[in-house]
Every structure is written in structure tokens, then in C-alpha cells.
Amino acid sequence: MLLPSGNDVLGTAVKMLGAERIMVKCQDGKERLCRVRGKLKRRVWIREGDIVLVSPWDFQSDQRGDIFWRYRKNQTEWLRGHGYLKI
């Protein structure tokens, strides 16, 4: 299981937009238009309400980012219990 480090932020998938794009409400208070990275695209199915790990882009960091991890239900409970997740 990956934990946020550096610029990474946790967020909740809010709306599916199609073409591997998802609107994510991040814990830093911003909504970002995120894309699912190619490595994750064919292996993991992301739905609305899922907790994901987002890496903001170097440019447009307040508006865009990449999703590179989706947490399962038991991992989400662990994050809440250890204070990583405020949602």
C-alpha cells in the first residue's frame, strides 16, 4: 500500500468524465481534473466515491493531476484510523 509523500495528495473520485478522466476532490481543498495513468488504466477500475492517490502536475498543479493508486475498502479504513484521511 502506498502512502502520500512529497506533493502527492489523497482525494475522492467525484465524477467520471470519460476517456480515463475523473474529477477528484483533493484533501488540500482543490478539485482537479485527473487522468488515470497508463500503468493503472487496464488493471484497476475506479468508481465514484473511491479514495485515490493523486500526483499534481508540475504546471497547472491546482487544476490537473495523475491518479496512480486506488485504495480498497480495508485500506481506506486503515487510512482513516491512522489519521491520513480527513474525508
| Cell digits of residue 25 | 476532490
Q: Could you tell me if residue 3 is inside a domain? A: no
Q: What is the extent of the structural domain holding 30?
A: 9-80
Q: Could you tell me if residue 63 is inside a domain? A: yes
21-26 and 9-18 strand pairing: antiparallel
Number of independent structural domains in the chain: 1
Q: Could you tell me if residue 2 is inside a domain? A: no
Q: Could you tell me if residue 69 is inside a domain? A: yes
Q: Could you tell me if residue 87 is inside a domain? A: no
Q: Look up the pTM and report it.
A: 0.86
| Closest listed residue to residue 68, CA positions, set 30, 25, 11, 16 | 11
User: Would you give per-residue pLDDT tens digits along the chain (87 residues)?
Assistant: 788 888 899 999 999 998 889 999 999 889 999 998 877 777 888 889 999 999 998 888 788 999 989 999 999 999 999 988 876
Report the CATH number at residue 28: 2.40.50.140
